[in-house]
Structure 1
Amino acid sequence: MTVICWFRRVLRLDDHPALVAAAKDGDVIPLVILDPAEARDHPASAQRQAMSLPRLEASLRQRHSRLIVRRGDPAQVLEQIARETGASAVHTTVGFPFASDHGLQAAVERSGASLHLHELADLVPRASVLTKTGGVYKVFTPFWKAVRQTDIAPPLPTPTISSPDSWPDSDGTDWPEARAAMDRGWDVMADHIRPGEDEAMTRLDEFLDGTLPDYKEHRDQPWRPRATSNLSDALAVGEISARRIWRHCQPAFQDGQKGIDHFLSELCWRDFARELFHEAPDMASTPWRPEWQDFPWKRDNNDAQDWRRGHTGVQMVDAGMRELYVTGQMHNRVRMITGSYLTKHLLTDWRVGLDWFARCLIDWDAASNAMNWQWVAGCGPDASPFFRVFNPETQGDKFDGKARYRDHWLHPNAEGAKQFAAATPRSWQIDLTHKPTPAISLAEGRARALDAYETVKS
């Protein structure tokens, strides 16, 4: 029998539950679907996936297989290609967000095939780690302790893949809709991306062999380019699984190597976000805590536009927003600083920031993005209290004491600043020598945020 394996944000052969099941089921047609709607809503993530496809294609060819790429609406593509090939089944992983599975089964069944959805290769299956009362954990620390006491399933090895006698046509690995959406940013961002399953394992080894012992002390310093594993984008597009990282880290964990416990807890934070997103699929649009529904956040506004363009006049904020636009990533400490500034100093709705990060991040993950924005805004589960207002200046002094990070992105002659000017749309009319005046002083912004908070409380 011929079966289709849809590589759905799982751009690897290792630890791929859907591929293992498909290989047992028949001759496998590996399929990637490039959805124009995804390129429109998440262009940086789409570019990141597109750059991984030639590597995936090469890996499959080494195993005498091929990668078939189609562009279009996933449900329509699945129905069409299942009819073309006479496939008896379509294997893929569950969608994330889960609502994205809507309509797929009916489309596949219209072709005469059956749809098989397989679990994601996360650390733990959804709803498998629960409190003593049977509910999901809403605080991270006890969730992490519970996961540490759980037997994490071993990653699945790459299966032997048998090929069909004939192959359907492929649209090729380029993603023109993503290129168009990224505009001038495509070529600039491409230089900051290290795609491929093999490359992800190399990065993990580099981290464990060199950076790990100083991870906890150095991870908050944005000027250090290799203070973290730099695996978030590889995880987001599925070039490596959380289970593979966990298993690869076990020797260091068992030896009690410095930094490993903290690193694995950060990996577990991703599972925590997915657990909560599974519990509340509207977490990207609705505050987790109902009492925050009426908080007087402003919707999109001119201050938010300056924030998006790295033009607030607050150095740590502007440096972070430029890093985001150029590289598709932002240092985690700086994400907290920029998020706090938007939601508290500028009193702008956290969903404005969530939408911008969803467009710009190459490591965009629906659950992590939603939970992290609710965390920094104060309205999410286990969130930072609203009255904890990050001061970008003192944060800069603490974590970027010699201004190396800020200078790289803000000094007119620095490479980072030049890349930012080259990547941004011409309509932004970037002038690297112009120093904007902040919309509000840090002290006044903090006071205004706390006043709003007290008003809502009372």
Structure 2
Amino acid sequence: MPDPAILWFRQDLRLADHPALAAVAGRPVLPVYILEDGPWAPGGAARWWLHHSLAALGRDLADRGAPLLLLRGDPRRLVPDLAARIGASEVHAGRRTEPTGRRCDAETHGALEAAGARLVLHRTALLHEPHQVRTGAGTPYGVYTPFSRNVFALLEGLAPPLPAPDLLVSAAAAEGLALDALDLLPKPPVPDWAAGFRDQWQPGEAGAAARLAAFLEHGLAGYGDRRNDPGAAWGTSGLSPHLHLGEISPRSVWHAAKARSGKGLETFLKELLWREFSHHLLWHRPEMPEAPLRADFAAFPWQSDATLLRAWQRGRTGYPIVDAGMRQLWQTGWMHNRVRMITASFLVKHLLQPWQAGEAWFWDTLVDADLAANAASWQWVAGCGADAAPYFRIFNPVLQGEKFDPAGLYVRRWCPELAALPDRWIHRPHEAPEIVLRGAGITLGRQYPAPVIDLAAGRARALAAFAAIKGDAAA
């Protein structure tokens, strides 16, 4: 009988197209997941998803003969101890891009090596290795478009996905934790803030496969036209939380999409490559979740205001497209991508709140909270990241709402108190005549808030703040 091996699951909670799992084929295997604490541990919404994803993975592994071991703590101690206990000479896992994960893996590797074992890392979460894609000058990419062109070319020979194994041979049993002992779900006296998630999502590998199949059938062909319409059916794939925890591999998604045709295909593939670009940035700029990538923004004169931040978090800003997005986020753990950009721009530019405050809120409330994508996207909106939108590009939430939700379908769904407003006023209730507001049963400041800031004043303040740091840089 070959020596046993440990299969350490991280952000690859699946059995199909799992290179680390394929590497231990034919050997007794002990599958393990370790809940790690520390900086950027999963936020509340992501923990809800993780609970259900681990439950699904545990069932799938048990059905194949190798139950999942659950642990909590420091892998640098737990993994070497576990390897010694079962006599494993190898631990196989997916490579991570997060700074704390990379440090943990390096130190775990050292501890295993000192004990005569080794940690073997595989590409399980990305289409490419972030440290291997370079510009012609041999440097990391800082601009998305040339990065995507390069990676598109590299992926021409992308190998097909690997099948899931039919059976596994279980290594010696080890004592672990029950899933509930990981405390991933809200429990009394905390209200069940995740109650709305269950109707929206099916975590797990089967849910990911079903979501992909449905999107390919109903959404891919029109994706290029519908992806900016937050009220459209199948305007988005909804795959981001499944991809974040690796319930489906990006390689599986890439090949399944490439087998289809239609003008939405290239647009969808580019969205997958934005995710890759974010992880490329995080690998080379590990400070990205905390510090602006553009050094001049370290002196940006943010005006932190707990009242304004709370109004934004609760969807009570007085601007319907912003409020609809923030309420969708709270109720479902997710927000449409176009609305993510609008709400983020409003926070950092009109309200002049630091982008890190928005990043932290999204981290705690998004089921797809991904450190690389979250940090890269917030820095992009704030104008301080790689390939960032210029700071002086300030989304007007009224005009954005009228452009991308012209009939107000999205706003009416998530801000039902505005449902009776005519289309003309649905995105600007603060400008509606009093007779229109009365007819819709609205008194500003009661059923719906008055605007927390005048858009013109907020824009002027943001531009003045940007000019101030530019002046400091020039001086």
Quote the residue 2:219 is aligned against: 211
Quote how far apart the aligned CAs of 1:4 are: 1.0
Cα 1:161–1:5 change in 2 (3 A) is farther
Quote the residue 2:177 is aligned against: 171
Does 2:199 align with 1:191?
Answer: yes
Quote the residue 2:351 is aligned against: 346
Quote how far apart the aligned CAs of 1:347 are: 0.7
Cα distance in 1 between the residues matched to 2:29 and 2:114? 20
Cα distance in 1 between the residues matched to 2:182 and 2:449? 36
Quote the residue 2:317 is aligned against: 312
Amino acid at match of 1:336: M
Query: 1:156-187: per-residue Cα shift (whole Å, max 9, x none)?
Result: 33346542364123322336532248742133
Quote how far apart the aligned CAs of 1:107 are: 4.5
Does 2:22 align with 1:14?
Answer: no
Quote how far apart the aligned CAs of 1:15 are: 1.6
Cα distance in 2 between the residues matched to 1:39 and 1:225? 33
Query: 1:275-314: per-residue Cα shift (whole Å, max 9, x none)?
Result: 1111101111111111211111234632112211222222
Quote the residue 2:47 is aligned against: 46
Cα 1:165–1:129 change in 2 (3 A) is closer
* Range with bigger deviation, 384-393 or 75-84: 75-84
Q: Among residues 265, 268, 274, which one is paired with 2:273 in the alignment?
A: 268
Quote the residue 1:239 is aligned against: 247
Asked if structure 2 preserves the Cα contact closer than 8 Å seen for 1:16 and 1:121, the reply is no
* Range with bigger deviation, 149-158 or 334-343: 149-158
Cα distance in 1 between the residues matched to 2:179 and 2:13? 13
Quote the residue 2:235 is aligned against: 227
Amino acid at match of 1:305: R
Q: In the comparison of the two structures, how many residue pairs are matched? A: 437
1:18-37 counterparts in 2 under 5 A?
A: 18-23=20-25, 26-37=27-38
1:251-290 counterparts in 2 under 5 A?
A: 251-252=259-260, 256-290=261-295
Amino acid at match of 2:185: R
Asked if structure 2 preserves the Cα contact closer than 8 Å seen for 1:50 and 1:175, the reply is no
Query: 1:124-170: per-residue Cα shift (whole Å, max 9, x none)?
Result: 11233321111122211111111221132332333465423641233
Quote how far apart the aligned CAs of 1:37 are: 4.7
Amino acid at match of 1:236: H
Query: 1:229-262: per-residue Cα shift (whole Å, max 9, x none)?
Result: 110010001001111111112222xxx5221011
Cα 1:35–1:129 change in 2 (3 A) is closer
Query: 1:53-87: per-residue Cα shift (whole Å, max 9, x none)?
Result: 22212222332221121233333332443343333
1:42-441 counterparts in 2 under 5 A?
A: 42-102=43-103, 103-109=107-113, 113-150=117-154, 151-159=157-165, 162-164=168-170, 166-174=172-180, 176-180=182-186, 183-252=191-260, 256-299=261-304, 301-412=306-417, 434-441=447-454
Query: 1:405-425: per-residue Cα shift (whole Å, max 9, x none)?
Result: 1122222599xxxxxxxxxxx
* Range with bigger deviation, 113-122 or 312-321: 113-122
* Range with bigger deviation, 185-194 or 314-323: 185-194
* Range with bigger deviation, 170-179 or 188-197: 170-179
Cα 1:228–1:165 change in 2 (3 A) is closer
Quote how far apart the aligned CAs of 1:94 are: 2.0
Structure 1, unmatched stretches of 5+, are 415-431
Quote how far apart the aligned CAs of 1:205 are: 1.6
Cα distance in 2 between the residues matched to 1:311 and 1:440? 12
Quote the residue 2:470 is aligned against: 457
Cα distance in 2 between the residues matched to 1:176 and 1:406? 37
Asked if structure 2 preserves the Cα contact closer than 8 Å seen for 1:188 and 1:326, the reply is yes
Asked if structure 2 preserves the Cα contact closer than 8 Å seen for 1:6 and 1:31, the reply is yes
Asked if structure 2 preserves the Cα contact closer than 8 Å seen for 1:215 and 1:263, the reply is yes
Query: 1:297-350: per-residue Cα shift (whole Å, max 9, x none)?
Result: 234632112211222222111111111111111100000011000100011111
Asked if structure 1 preserves the Cα contact closer than 8 Å seen for 2:417 and 2:447, the reply is no
Quote how far apart the aligned CAs of 1:452 are: 1.5
Cα 1:6–1:350 change in 2 (3 A) is same
Amino acid at match of 1:167: A
* Range with bigger deviation, 345-354 or 125-134: 125-134
* Range with bigger deviation, 184-193 or 34-43: 34-43
Asked if structure 2 preserves the Cα contact closer than 8 Å seen for 1:28 and 1:161, the reply is no
Cα 1:175–1:333 change in 2 (3 A) is farther
* Range with bigger deviation, 282-291 or 181-190: 181-190
Identity over aligned residues, as a percent? 41
Cα 1:37–1:286 change in 2 (3 A) is closer
Quote how far apart the aligned CAs of 1:443 are: 1.3
Secondary structure at the counterpart of residue 174 of structure 1: helix
Cα 1:340–1:211 change in 2 (3 A) is same
Cα distance in 2 between the residues matched to 1:109 and 1:271? 31
Cα 1:82–1:190 change in 2 (3 A) is farther
